[in-house]
Amino acid sequence: MSRLLDGRGELGELMRRARLIDRAQAHLREQLPAELAEHLFVGGYRRGRLTVITDRAAWLTRLRYEQARLLSLLHELPGFEAVTGFDFKVRPVRPPKAPVRQTRRLPARAADELSSCADDVDDPRLKRALERLASHAERET
């Protein structure tokens, strides 16, 4: 394991790049206004260009206006002197939707039918299942 993470292996190189990208993202976010900073994500580095991702086109436009300043800020970080520009991308973040819960109602009369069926059944597993279903009935309070 230590051979993989020591920097000479592929995983070590990947970890080093991930740390660099994380440093770049943190540094850029520190320099931006708070409302814009929370929408900036650094996605990667390839061929001298840093990929910057945001969740809406409006934020992308603001980032484009800040491009020259961001590039000079990035050059302050060790390891990012060779960055020549940015590739901007919009990737909307959609929060996961919880499925709509469909509650079903079991009338008391249906529960009585299920209970009477359970009384006539010999199989213990089926009997318990029918009794469990009958227990979900609407009871008059």
pLDDT tens series, the chain, 141 aa: 555 555 566 777 788 888 888 998 999 899 888 898 889 999 888 888 989 999 989 999 999 998 999 899 889 888 888 889 999 999 887 777 777 888 778 888 888 899 999 999 999 999 999 999 888 876 654
Report CA torsion sign: 33, 75, 71, 83: negative
Give the domain ranges of the chain. 2-90, 104-141
Report d(CA 105, CA 61) in Å as an integer. 51
Task: Assign a CATH topology to domain 2-90.
Answer: GMP Synthetase; Chain A, domain 3 (3.30.300)
Question: Which pLDDT belongs to residue 128?
Answer: 93
Predicted pLDDT at 140: 52
> Helix 67-75 to helix 57-65 angle, to the nearest 10 degrees?
70
- HSE (side-chain half, CA atoms, 13 Å) at 124: 0
Predicted TM-score (pTM) of the model is 0.58
Length of the chain: 141
